[in-house]
Structure 1
Amino acid sequence: MVKKRKVPERKCVVTNEMKPKKDLIRIVRNKEGEVFVDPSGKKNGRGAYLSLDLDVISKAEKSNVLSRTLNAEVDPAIFEELKTLINGKIDEK
């Protein structure tokens, strides 16, 4: 019998839902305080996860939740990048 591997789950900082890591996008703040999108999910730094959902991204942008979670200023360009990324992902499906 093949044992099924546990799917790594992470919590979305906006909805507080636990979801499989592949259904979320990671935003990272590194030691230099730079904040960027980490599609690979493997970069070093403090990470926060968001659901791959435009509504969630908009809520995160309005509520400033990412800035609080990462203790850093989040550039509006990050949200633009996230929206572009999500639109790309939705088109792939």
Structure 2
Amino acid sequence: MVSAKKVPQRQCVGCGEMKNKKEMIRILKTPEGSFTLDTTGRKNGRGAYLCPCMECFRKAVKGRGLERSFKMAIPKEVYETLEKEMEQLG
């Protein structure tokens, strides 16, 4: 009896949909306190997941989804940097 392998699911902090982990972008808060996009999904630190579209990013900013995930206020400059990184990916 062979069981099907579980596919890791993550919830988007923008739209709230559950999707496959590999389809999503991980936003990482490093132990030093800086924020970056983790394209590999393996870097150390606290992560939050977003769909790879700008619409979900805007929803996460407006609805404070990232701030809830990281349990802290996020400066405007961080959002601007993440937005530039997201535009480069898309």
- Shorter-chain TM range is 0.7 to 0.9
Provide the aligned C-alpha RMSD in A: 1.9
Q: Which runs of 5+ in 1 are unaligned?
A: 88-93
| Contact kept in structure 2, 1:28 and 1:46, CA below 8 Å | yes
Which one of 65, 77, 80 corresponds to residue 81 of structure 2? 77
CA distance in 1, matches of 2:69, 2:42: 18
Aligned length: 86
Identity of counterpart residues, as a percentage?
42
2:35 is aligned with what amino acid?
V
CA distance in 2, matches of 1:58, 1:37: 15
Q: TM-score, normalised by structure 1?
A: 0.78
User: Which residue is 2:18 aligned to?
Assistant: 18
User: Which residue is 1:90 aligned to?
Assistant: none
| Contact kept in structure 1, 2:10 and 2:19, CA below 8 Å | yes
Secondary structure, in 3 states, of the residue corresponding to 1:79?
helix
User: Which residue is 1:41 aligned to?
Assistant: 41
How far did residue 80 of structure 1 move?
1.2
Q: Deviations over 1:21-65 (max 9, x none)?
A: 011100010111111100001111110000112211222233443
Q: Which runs of 5+ in 2 are unaligned?
A: none
Closer, same or farther: CA 32–72 of 1 in aligned 2, 3 Å: farther
